[in-house]
Amino acid sequence: MANKLGIFPASGGLGGSTLKHLLELVPAKEVVLVARRPGKLSKEKAAGAIIRKADYDNAETLDHAFDGISSLNLISYASIQNEHRFKVHKSAIDAARKSGVKHIFYSSLAFAGDGNLNTKAQVMLAHIATEKYLAELHAQDPQFTYTVVREGLYSESFPLYTAFFDLKAPSNEICIPHDGSAPGLAWAKQDELGEATAKLIAQHAQDPAAFPYLNKTILLSGPRAWSLKETADVFSRVLNKPIKIRQVSVDEYVKQPQVQNGLTYGGGNWAPLWATAFDGIRDGECAVVTPNLARLLGREPEQFETTIKNMLSA
């Protein structure tokens, strides 16, 4: 049962993409999928994968959830609550090490550039704390290794950065605490990030000692950075409707109904904290472009405009 490859949480967006592509690279019986809602993984179970239930918010469920796994892809907990987010990450990492996990692929976020440990974005703080914790554990026990995968900002997550702009009910302007100018965001398609992450996991499993990203950070970015104005221009072209960026204060941004009603941690009471993301964008934290995603995919990543067109027609 030892030396399995694990993913937790395995039933979300990035986890779902990663497992789909991982199962194209390794036999299902070598994979352990850990999820809060294991019922969503019935197809993978039928294919031979081992399915287990665990929940970041219930530490007891993490005990033995990672037994038999040698390499675990730990995907971050979705929250902007820095302290709680790091606490649950630490609990999962500690449980994994107790279960004998030897290597952790931590799916981080592409703020703070290519391995930088300084950020202005609240959303990145727990990621950086987690990255530092993994490095500390390796320093204490060199037999334990890790890879930080800074996943590019999903093209599909554009609403978080555009005041919840809605392609199906578009407004004429996007009111954000940013003037729309460069530096921008190196948007990347979520499924391609999952595919690249799966290839890293499989590459490491084949020959851990020769893996080039042991105890390192790899940034997976889209093929170019798009300023927020250029992002709005894409919406204009795809929708055949003029859409502009209007810079507003953080207070004005937060009070917008669509921001208040946002269904993610970028909306409602969390909106003022989320607005610090625009400070990070302004500082160029999200504009770093690397060839890593293209190299792992073996092709040019999908352009942001193509993804948006496909989202509109879906």
Q: What is the pLDDT of residue 1?
A: 47
Measured between alpha carbons, how far is 257 from 19 in angstroms, rounded to an integer?
Answer: 36
* pLDDT tens, position by position, 100-129: 999 999 999 999 999 999 999 999 999 999
pLDDT (mean) for 213-224: 97
Check if the beta carbon of residue 70 is closer than 8 Å to that of residue 103.
yes
- Amino acid type, 117: L
Residue 162 has pLDDT above 80, yes or no: yes
Q: Where are the alpha helices (DSSP H) in the chain?
A: 13-22, 42-47, 82-98, 122-140, 190-206, 228-239, 250-255, 257-260, 271-274, 276-282, 292-297, 304-313
SS (H, E, C) 116-142: CCCCCCHHHHHHHHHHHHHHHHHHHCC
The region of weakest confidence among 26-35, 83-92, 134-143, 262-271 is 262-271
Rounded to whole angstroms, the Cα distance separating 250 from 248 reads 7
* Contact between residue 235 and residue 305 where contact means Cβ atoms under 8 Å apart: no
Where b means 16+ CB within 10 Å and e means fewer, 18-37 reads: bbebbbebbebebbbbbbbe
Mean pLDDT score of the chain, rounded to an integer?
A: 95
Tokens encoding 95: 């449980």
158 vs 264, higher pLDDT: 158
Question: The tokens of 122 are what?
Answer: 């609240």
When pLDDT is cut at 50, 70 and 90, the band that residue 265 belongs to is low
Q: Is 86 exposed, middle or buried (0-12, 13-18, 19+ CB in 10 A)?
A: buried
Domains and CATH numbers, the chain: 4-154+188-220 (3.40.50.720), 157-183+223-286+302-313 (3.90.25.10)
Count the Cβ atoms, other than its own, within 10 Å of residue 168: 7
